[in-house]
Structure 1
Amino acid sequence: MIYVKIYRVQGEVLLAACDEELLGKTFREGDLKLEVKERFYRGELVEEDALGPLLHEATIANLTGERCVSKAIELGYVDEDRVLRIQGVPHAQMARLFL
């Protein structure tokens, strides 16, 4: 399962999503630190297949965890070569540009 939370601010739709078991944890590697904060990520708990329509609507996304990031890669929203790993945990950000 994946936690998803949607923020709507000034015409932007930000999707925060993380694998359920990562919520509340902090990961460090070298100078990098990834905090999976409950106040940012904890929203609705959904199956990973629900991520597709949410990513389609999002203009910005913060994705953390194997299931979350893998689904975004599978659907073409994230380039696998652009995924950051901190202590082995994948993290990706997406921004949709409208020209």
Structure 2
Amino acid sequence: MIYIKVYRVQGEVLLAACDEELLGKTFREGELKLEVKERFYKGELVEEDALESLLEEATIANLTGERCVRKAIELGYVDEDRVLRIQGIPHAQMAKMFL
């Protein structure tokens, strides 16, 4: 299961999603720090398959955790070579560009 929260601001649709077990944790590696804050990520608890329609609608996404990031890669929204890992935890950001 994953937590998802959708923010709609000035025409943008921001999706915040994280694997359930990561919520509330902080990861550090060198100068990097990844905080999986409840106030940002904690919304609805859903199956990872729900990400497909959410990513389709999102213009921006913050994804944290193996399941979230793997699904976004499978769907073609995230390039595997662009995934950041902090203490082994994958984190990816996506922004759709409209021309």
Task: Tell me the alpha carbon deviations over residues 10-45 of structure 1, each in whole angstroms, 9 at most, x when there is no partner.
Answer: 000000000000000000000000000000000000
Matched, 1:6 2:17: no
RMSD: 0.2
Alignment of 1:28-43 (within 5 A): 28-43=28-43
| CA-CA distance at 1:79 after TM superposition | 0.2
Equivalent position of 2:27 in the other structure? 27
Matched, 1:60 2:60: yes
| CA-CA distance at 1:51 after TM superposition | 0.4
Task: Tell me the alpha carbon deviations over residues 38-73 of structure 1, each in whole angstroms, 9 at most, x when there is no partner.
Answer: 000000000000000000000000000000000000
Q: Given the two structures, how large is their TM-score scaled by the length of structure 1?
A: 1.00
Q: What percent of counterpart residues are identical?
A: 89
In structure 1, the gaps of 5 or more residues are: none
Q: Given the two structures, how large is their TM-score scaled by the length of structure 2?
A: 1.00
| CA-CA distance at 1:97 after TM superposition | 0.6
* Residues matched between the structures, number: 99
Equivalent position of 1:79 in the other structure? 79
CA distance in 1, matches of 2:97, 2:78: 14
CA distance in 1, matches of 2:31, 2:73: 26
In structure 2, the gaps of 5 or more residues are: none
Q: Post-superposition, which runs of at least 4 consecutive aligned residues in structure 1 deviate over 2 A?
A: none
CA distance in 2, matches of 1:97, 1:80: 19
